[in-house]
Amino acid sequence: MNAPQMINNYKVIKKLGEGKLVDVFLCFKDEEKSVLKVQKQLKSEIKMCDSTYAFIEEISAHKKARHPFIIEMIESFLWEDENHNFRWCIVLEYADGGDLYEKYYHPKRRIQEKQALNWIAQIALALDHLQKVGIKTYDIKPQNIVIVGEKSGGMAKIGDLRYIKEDYFGRSNVTHTNSSLYFPPEKQQNRDSPNLDIWSLGILFYELLTGGEHPFEIQPNSMDYLSRLPRLELRQNQLVRDNFKDLIKLMIEKDISKRLSVSQLLDQPLIVRKIDGFIFEMMFGEQITDIIIQQTGREQAIDQEKQPQEIVQLPNRNRFEEEKIYELIDRIKNDGHGKLADIVKDDKELMERLEKQKDMVHSVEWNASEEVKDREPFGQFLEGGVYYGQMKGRVRDGYGLLYCIDEYNDHSCMKASGSQGLLLKHSALILRIMNGTSMMVKWMLNTYSQELPTGVVKEEISLLDHLKKDFFMAMVSSDTALSNK
């Protein structure tokens, strides 16, 4: 079908894709983009009747499925074309972020943990709603999950309810992928289960965290995947943290009786904390927040939050977040310093120590690290690092973590104390990767074998073990403030 100029006040811009029953166009109305699905005119009357039935089913499903994390149907109507044939049209909201396949999976882009968990929690809420209203035709895989509002962080939405078969949402030149890679073992016997989509969502979760790596299959185009699946072991990937891995294992449990249901997934601590964040921070506005509260029954939690407490719960902007610490660890690892990243990651008490410093006066933010001079006995820290910690206004003030590079090109991670942009005493150089045999390496070896110089205190950790891995751990205090250039 050639794109007409106008369809019921919608200006058609270009064709996005098609299926056997439908053409899909990008269109404008009142300066707003939307997606227009137009029923094809088929030669066979029987096939045309089947097509009409599929459109009516999809329209009905969209009306029942209305939810913040399911693509919105703006309207539907019968359109009379130039040959006086009446055809069904469905207008959907435009997903400016595309779908997960074209945006992340195909280019092998890894998603930060916080964002991945956001999207998984959102799709879990959508699946819970669809089950409650009795809709079971959804198909969870990267091509069917779209991102709306990308510039503001993006909401993940189920983009297609799959009534109109072979409809490729919003994308031309579609790459056909092996859908069986998202099927659970019971699909081999053509069995369906209420938690089939949780398996698919678990596969998707793992792929988001690993840049598109499938948790079981290393041959993406293999046609016998389902027959081999019962014998395949879950792949181990260091990019997936233990608590995330534990949740994914429950989602992709091969034994149906042990696999999480949708309601059980929504009760998992990682998901509960994420949904509470949606609610308490009103991330999507008041209307969507109210829908989430009603769906999850979190009214009691909200009431408790409003009650006076002996310990005041600080807003997220005043607190250190574990996800942000792991973003810093990823930054260190991506810079090629896996050992340094592993030691920060293995510091189990780090979050506890950071949390003790939180208060209402300081916000906790990212900040570029500037040059620091005269850091005895360690020399000079150069620009190009990153700081995650307390700020007052636009100035580093308080406590935080500083990842930086010195004049010898050694990479360090500091527990930094500061005031109005100045590094103060008790700033702690906790880790450094040494590049070569400098005087500082010898000095640190001496501190291990002899008494530490004044102002240097060893942490409660085996220094010998770290020296064997070419880095050290020590705490250094200085009686003078250090100027920040």
| pLDDT band, very low/low/confident/very high, at 384 (cuts 50, 70, 90) | low
* pLDDT given for residue 51 in this prediction: 93
Q: What is the average pLDDT across 215-228?
A: 83
Contacts of 373 (CB under 8 A, 6+ apart): 380, 482, 483, 485
**pLDDT > 90? residue 221:** no
High-pLDDT (> 90) share of the chain, %:
41
pLDDT at 44: 93
What three-state secondary structure class fits 121? helix
- The letter for the amino acid at 15 is K
What are the two backbone dihedrals, phi and then psi, of residue 91, each rounded to the nearest 5 degrees? -105, 125
Has residue 130 got a pLDDT over 60? yes
Task: Supply the Cα-derived Rg of the chain in whole angstroms.
Answer: 27
Lowest mean pLDDT, pick from 146-155, 267-276, 312-321, 470-479: 470-479
Residue 218 tokens, joined: 């290393």
Q: For residue 336, what pLDDT band results from cuts at 50, 70 and 90?
A: confident
pLDDT band at 58 (very low <50, low <70, confident <90, very high): very high
Position 253 scores a pLDDT of 95
Tell me the C-alpha distance between 396 and 414, whole Å. 14
Mean pLDDT is highest, among 173-177, 286-290, 312-316, for: 286-290
Average pLDDT over residues 450-477: 34
Structure tokens at 260: 């999480």
> Is 89's pLDDT higher than 50?
yes
Question: CA 21, CA 90: separation in Å to the nearest integer?
Answer: 13
The Cα 102–Cα 16 span in angstroms is: 14
Pull the structure tokens for residue 79. Answer: 């359109």
What is the overall mean pLDDT for the chain?
Answer: 76
| Token code pair at residue 115 | 């964002």
Domains and CATH numbers, the chain: 6-93 (3.30.200.20), 100-170+179-272 (1.10.510.10), 337-476 (no CATH)
pTM above 0.85, yes or no: no
DSSP state of 61: H
Q: How far apart are CA 135 and CA 65, in angstroms?
A: 8
CB 410 within 8 A of CB 433: yes
Element (H, E) at 26: strand 22-29
Q: Which two tokens stand for residue 76?
A: 């539907």
